[in-house]
Structure 1
Amino acid sequence: MQKANTALQHPSWIQRAPVVRPFWLAILVVAACSLGCVGDESRSSQSSVDSPAHPELKNREIRLSVLHASEHPLVSRPVDLNRWNSKYDPYFRKYSKRFFGPGMDWRWFKSQAIAESELKHTSRGPQGAVGLMQIMPETFSQSNNELLLESHQERWHIAVAIQYNRWLWSRWEKSTERDPIDLMLASYNAGRSRILTSTYFCGGCLSWERLQNFVPPVTRHYLIKIYALMGKDLES
């Protein structure tokens, strides 16, 4: 009988186990929950930047602009955010009106400058493009504007770029009854001859919905950036 009672006793390691009182147990649970919530919030915040609503936007600054604009109902265009320098706005307004008239939204050209150089006038492209609007010097080799490109004044680069956009616009305007702004922008980026070749390979199409499959990927992304900054979708 004595042996049976001994066999029923708990092992010594169970008897020495610490007892966690209910008060301290509650503290531990709350602390663990708080750490988990902070971690989840941090991961959520980071994922909102790394997984934007526009995954096709590869430029981080433009992507953040689109995200921030979506959080502010009064901001209809990401290009209007304070993160983008407004010092050149008077020039975009002035030369847009001069070459296109008052009906053209000057923000198209500011968005274009952001896509080209993020509004950095000291930018120089790998192929020799220079300035705020990343102009290729040979673009105006047969005009009277080449002297303007030698100037370090941003206003002349903006003026020359918008004038060139107007030239492209006029060429495409003769070929289509719709607004040719997408064709103008694509030609500015890739060159009009290359876009003409792309229209040939797509059977003479002029709608961006079809043409985008025949233009260089960098040109396709170029338009995505500009339209995103303008708060617009690429239309066919």
Structure 2
Amino acid sequence: MYATLYDTPIRAAAEQYLPQWHWLWLKAQLIAESALDPAAVSPAGAQGIAQFMPPTWDDVRAALAFPAHTTPFDPAYAIKGAAWYLGLLRRQWRSPRAEDDRRRLVQASYNAGLGNVVKAQKRAGGATAYASIAARLHEVTGADHARETRAYVERIERIHRELVGV
């Protein structure tokens, strides 16, 4: 159903930067982002297989010391960058909570921005559960963006179920 072309670099990047997650979570997210198309460009300007916005890509490239000429259109670098960035986001959600909630918060942060999801958490009284935080996201990002983020997380979960055959 889904291409296997990038399975080896996805698995390697997930094992390096997201050892707490099965590698198919990263693949599911990349499918949700770009349908595994390294040439994808969103209407908002997100680029490549992992749909990096240019400023985020610049940060990732610098943090991982990628060569200056690399772009988010190079899947080898973008896959590694996405796994690293997800790992960075995961470390931000360090309060005790169910790992499924942590994963959903990381995915929501990748989509809506960490700062926005943290603001929603504050509006939810410091809740740790994804559902409680997501329910307040509209107060920060607006209803349309909040709906998009919740649908994004749900889409990743659906794709993951398809990948594992559940």
Q: TM-score, normalised by structure 1?
A: 0.58
* Alignment partners' CA distance in 2, 1:140 and 1:201: 29
> Alpha-carbon deviations, 1:88-132, whole Å to 9, x = none?
00011001111123x520000110011111111111112221000
1:151 Cα deviation after fit: 6.2
1:223 alignment partner in structure 2: 153
2:96 alignment partner in structure 1: 176
Counterpart residue type for residue 111 of structure 1: A
* Alignment partners' CA distance in 1, 2:18 and 2:30: 17
- Say whether the 8 Å CA contact 2:93–2:106 is kept in structure 1: yes
- Percent identity reads 26
1:192 Cα deviation after fit: 0.2
2:142 alignment partner in structure 1: none
Indicate which of 193, 196, 201 corresponds to 2:118: 196
Give unpaired runs (5+ residues) of structure 2. 138-145
1:112 alignment partner in structure 2: 29
User: RMSD between aligned alpha carbons?
Assistant: 1.9
- Say whether the 8 Å CA contact 2:34–2:50 is kept in structure 1: yes
Q: Spell out structure 1 runs of 4+ moving beyond 6 A.
A: none
Give the greater-gyration-radius structure (CA). 1
Q: TM-score, normalised by structure 2?
A: 0.81
- Say whether the 8 Å CA contact 1:148–1:157 is kept in structure 2: no
Map 1:27-46 to 2 at 5 A: none
Map 1:55-94 to 2 at 5 A: 83-94=1-12
Higher relative contact order (CA 8 A, sep 6+): 2
2:83 alignment partner in structure 1: 162
* Alignment partners' CA distance in 2, 1:148 and 1:172: 32
* Alignment partners' CA distance in 2, 1:151 and 1:171: 23
Give unpaired runs (5+ residues) of structure 1. 1-82
